[in-house]
Amino acid sequence: MTTLLITGIVLLLLAIVVLLSILNDKANALSENDPEATDRKYKRVATWLMVFNIVFLVACFWSAYDFKNYMLGYGPHTAASEHGPEIDSLFNITLFFTTLIFVLTTFALFWFSYKYRHRRGHRASNLAHNTKLEIIWTALPALVLTVLVVKGIVAWNNITADVDPSEQYLEIDVTGQQFLWNIRYPGKDGHLGAKDFRLIKPGVNELGQDWRDKRNLDDFMADEIVIPKGRKVKFRIYAKDVLHSFFLPHFRVKMDAVPGLPTYFVVTPTTTTEEYRQRLSNYPEYQVPSDPEDPNSPPLWKAFNYELACAELCGIGHYSMRRVVRVVEPEEFEAWYNKQKSYYFENIRFTEDDPYRNELLPFEVAERKADFINRFNNAYNSKDEAERIIQLRNVHFKTGSSELTALSRYELDFAAEAMQSHPEIQIEVAGHTDNVGNPESNKTLSEARANAVMKYLMKKGVATDRMEAKGYGQDKPVASNDNAEGRQKNRRTELIIK
């Protein structure tokens, strides 16, 4: 229905225009011999053009004024970063000059068409050259541009200055790819680990982190950017495929992400997300529902979030390159930061991609050792026979064999050490299996495994006559053999203090 109405109105307007032009032609034909009528006609046209000019300029200013509270730099949208006001003031200086020139030239354009309209007895004069004019309209823009450019360069050098290595700052690594941002934080060591594009493995190692660089081990990935208010943040900006652009509009941060050419931007946020929301709440524009379809949705100011966008049209899914940015008080940041989990320990540790899969890291050795000594002492001090058993939780064998896995050595070393510091005790090394397979061969296997452990302890200096190896096969389960978890518990090696 609406389409039909609009089509009807357009057709009607077209008919009116055609009719008017026909009438105009007829009137012209009549007045051809009446010079006064011609003068009147040109004056009328020139006057209406002047009216248009004034209405147009007023409309321009009115619209800018009306929308000011939505625009960055005005109303509630003063910059949320330390360097932001400098960019805004540069922008305003540029805007002042361009507005002035815009008004003057627009006005001159229409004024000339009015003043020099066709009139009887007036002839156009031919102005071929005027040196004075040439100098004025070359020198003036040159001067203005020089001021703008010099001010711009000085500001740009300030804004894009790198951090001083001696100062405190938080480093965050952002990598654009079609169509998302990878956000990486340094862990507790405060340093981001090395990357190499040749190590990139989709779904496993998206950034090509080199796990041999220990600084990588505590790095974590985040799905939003969280930064503490008042802290200097250095964003290291990368791209994996095409050009992207790292754009934080509320902080006046914008830097291209270029494949093969790392860039950076240093910014100090000055306003938390919550403070920015409070600021917005003072303006009627932000009291409307955030979802126009749902009148009960929270008002715009409450739903506000800073955001990271990609400012480079990088492909069909470009729009989805949005991430929420949260600026919080330093204490809240610490709480969030401490909750994050290292990517390496969550996803890489002990997998085939882990260069340290056959060894324990120093802190892991310390943790396991403390745990073992604790369990050993409990067993040692207990009078109850059933409690004088120490399970070797981290001693494992290759499937169906009595060959110890590489990581078993740590717990066996702890055991050997404990035996040596308690020379009076005797132990039994007991091997157990689950109930899969033949009971006889299970017994043989458990014996072989107990012997392997004993041999290892011997090699570490524990006297042979202090130990006895026994294989129990599947006879002494500690859990149900009906599920994988239970069977795993049943396949075990124990040290029993006699």
- Positions that interact with Cu ion (CB under 5 A): 244, 310, 314, 321
Q: Give min distance, CB of 437 to Cu ion, in A.
A: 56
Nearer to Cu ion, 247 or 344 (CB): 247
What are the Cα distances from residue 30, in Å, to 20, 22, 41, 129, 492?
Answer: 15, 13, 13, 41, 115
CA-CA distance, 286 to 276, in Å (whole number)?
12
* Shortest Cβ 407–Cu ion spacing (Å): 43
CB 315 to Cu ion: min, Å: 7
Give the contacts of 340 (CB within 8 A, at least 6 positions apart): 185, 220, 222
Q: Which amino acid is at 70?
A: Y
Q: Distance between CA 139 and CA 130 in Å, rounded?
A: 14
Do 433 and 446 form a contact (C-beta atoms < 8 A)? yes
CB of 314 to Cu ion, least distance (A): 3
Residue placing its CB nearer to Cu ion in the complex, 17 or 324: 324
| Residue among 232 and 240 whose Cβ is closer to Cu ion | 240
Rg (CA), the chain: 40
473 Ramachandran zone, left/alpha/beta (phi>0; psi -120 to 50): left
Task: Produce one character per residue of 31-50: b if its CB has 16 or more CB atoms within 10 Å, e if not.
Answer: eeeeeeebeebeeeebeeee
Query: CA 323 to CA 307: how far, in whole Å?
Result: 6
C-alpha 306/C-alpha 202 separation (Å) is 29
Q: Minimum Å distance from CB 214 to Cu ion? A: 32
Helical (H) or strand (E) element with 148: helix 131-159
Residue of 226, 228, 262, 227 whose CA lies nearest to 244: 262
Q: C-beta of 201: minimal distance to Cu ion in Å?
A: 22
Among residues 182 and 268, whose Cβ is nearest to Cu ion? 182
**Residue 276 burial (C-beta neighbours within 10 Å; 0-12, 13-18, 19+):** buried
Residue (298 or 317) nearer to Cu ion, CB: 317
Tell me the closest approach of the beta carbon of residue 254 to Cu ion, in angstroms: 13
Q: Which is nearer to Cu ion, 312 or 411 (CB)?
A: 312
Q: Smaller CB distance to Cu ion: residue 224 or 413?
A: 224
- Name which of 218 and 312 has its Cβ closer to Cu ion: 312
Q: How far is the CB of 310 from Cu ion (least distance, A)?
A: 3
